[in-house]
Structure 1
Amino acid sequence: MRITAKCKIAVDAMLDIAGHTERGYAISLPVVSKRLGVSHSYLELIFSKLKAAGLIYSHRGPGGGYSLAKKLGDISVKDIVDATIDPQALVHGLSAQLWVNLEAQMQNQMSQITLHHILANTPIKIDPTLETLGAKLVRAQEHKQPVKMPAKIPSRKEPQVLGPNSVFSFGKFILQK
């Protein structure tokens, strides 16, 4: 396993989101981009992976942004890394088993470190614009479950055709009558 810059940025972004979520705020992508010094488009790629993994929620509208989808203690560094890491080929060669064992130990260690542990030792400053706007977050447990769409959409009645819809069709229609 190779911990990339993308993984490190994802962990930093998740800490920023966690700090704001714990205080009842959602944080917007442009704010995270500015705070981390990372391009907006690059963060969009990372956030889409984190959202697909079920680690963050997005909130629309004024005061919207991103918040944690789970409790701080339920999100480990391994979860974040797994969501953002690109799959890599297995190691071949004489030392292959060594690398497999080291990766297993690293995975185990990362699974034991949660956002709660990191946030306890890392002070996160709340974006001052959120406090002045009075924006508040809809907590993760208040989210409604997504509405399931029916497997087959019921067919609608076909609209009644009163006549042709073009000049050419109208000419043919008149000639037929």
Structure 2
Amino acid sequence: MRLSTRGRYGLHAMYVLGCHYGEDPVSLAEISKKTGLSDNYLEQLIRQLKLAGLVDSMRGTHGGYYLTKDPKDITIGDILKNLEEFFGATECSVADGICSREGSCPARGVWANLVASMEETVESITLDEVVAGKYVL
């Protein structure tokens, strides 16, 4: 599985917000500065993260973005599943009826196991652990 830039960069934006959890909201300019991403691209990512209920915003002079939950309650899976269009090894590993060989494919079980392992891994890692340096982005 390859993560798209949305997934990778979304993790970086969430990392910045996680580093500031419990503090004042973080401006888009600050997130942009720390991630090296354009404001426009960040707005797209954050819009999707807001729809997922992971991020919210505050208007005004001291406004910006903040996490809606404690980083220990947000998994990497929560982030990726809301940013990635496709989360799996192959399309047939996440949806039925995609492939005409579905019933006789010798690799289908392999793909299913791979997807299960990936999901287990990303669901076991919290944003808090990434912020603490246990994992490096």
TM interval, shorter chain, is: 0.7 to 0.9
For 1:105-164, what per-residue CA distance to the aligned partner results, in whole angstroms no more than 9, with x for missing partners?
A: 111111110011111117xxxxxxxxxxxxxxxxxxxxxxxxxxxxxxxxxxxxxxxxxx
Structure-2 residue corresponding to 1:53: 52
How many angstroms apart in 2 are the aligned matches of 1:17 and 1:28? 10
Aligned residue runs from structure 1 range 3-152, under 5 A: 3-22=3-22, 24-87=23-86, 89-91=91-93, 92=99, 93-121=105-133
How many angstroms apart in 1 are the aligned matches of 2:109 and 2:24? 46
Mind listing any 5+ residue stretches in structure 2 that lack a counterpart? 94-98, 100-104
Task: Report the number of matched residues.
Answer: 121
Give the ranges of 4+ consecutive aligned residues of structure 1 lying more than 6 Å apart after TM superposition.
Answer: none
The Cα shift of 1:63 comes to: 1.1
Return the index of the structure with the highest Cα Rg. Answer: 1
Of stretches 28-37 and 75-84 in structure 1, the one that deviates more from structure 2 is: 28-37
Mind listing any 5+ residue stretches in structure 1 that lack a counterpart? 123-177
The Cα shift of 1:95 comes to: 1.4
The Cα shift of 1:87 comes to: 3.0
How many angstroms apart in 1 are the aligned matches of 2:24 and 2:81? 26
Q: TM-score, normalised by structure 1?
A: 0.63
Q: TM-score, normalised by structure 2?
A: 0.80
